[in-house]
C-alpha cells in the first residue's frame, strides 16, 4: 500500500508553506492546502514545514 499525504482541513490554516517546499509541484493552495496526488512522492518535506500539524503520511 503506497503512502499518501493526508491534509486535515480543520487544522490547516492555508499558509501555503507546504507548497513552497514541494519539489514535485504536488501541492497547490486554495482556502487550504490542495494535494495533486499523482505527483506526490511521499518525501515528507511538507510535513516538516507545516506549522499546525495538518499534514501526515498514511
Partner 1 sequence: MLDIVIVGAGPAGLMAALTAARDGLKIALVEKRRDVSIITRACCQQLIMDEGYEGDTVSAGPEGISFQQSGCMVPYNGPLFPVTRKYYISPGGRRICFDHGDGRPLAVQFDKGRLLQGLWESCAEAGVKLMPATTAWDATDSGSSITVSLTRSGRRSVIEARCALLADGVNSRMAGALGLNRNRTHFVTTQCMVYTLEGVEDPEPHVMKSFMGNIYNSRAPIILYPYFDDPTRMRMCIARNKNDLTAKVYDYARDKASLAPYMKNARIVKAAGCGLRAYSSLLQPRLGNALAVGDAAAFVEVETQGALMCGFRAAKASKDELEGRPGFDGYTHWWQQAFEFNGPDALRVAQGYALTPTYTDEELDYLFGLVENEMLPGSYSQYNTPKYMWNAILAHTAQIDCERPGLLEKIGANMKLTISDTL
Residues that bind partner 1 (CB under 8 A): 13-25, 27-30, 36, 38-39, 48-53
Find the shortest distance in angstroms from Cβ 43 to partner 1.
13
Q: For partner 1, which is the closer residue by CB, 43 or 49?
A: 49
Q: For partner 1, which is the closer residue by CB, 19 or 43?
A: 19
Cα(12)–Cα(41) distance, rounded to whole angstroms?
21
Cα(58)–Cα(54) distance, rounded to whole angstroms?
13
Q: Which three cell numbers stand for residue 23?
A: 519539489
Q: For partner 1, which is the closer residue by CB, 51 or 57?
A: 51
Closest CA to 51 of 33, 26, 24, 34: 33
Amino acid at each position: 500500500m503506497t503512502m499518501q499525504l493526508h491534509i486535515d482541513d480543520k487544522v490547516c490554516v492555508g499558509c501555503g508553506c507546504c507548497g513552497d517546499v514541494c519539489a514535485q509541484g504536488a501541492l497547490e493552495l486554495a482556502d487550504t492546502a490542495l494535494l495533486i496526488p499523482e505527483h506526490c512522492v511521499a518525501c515528507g518535506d511538507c510535513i516538516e514545514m507545516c506549522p499546525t500539524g495538518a499534514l501526515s503520511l498514511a
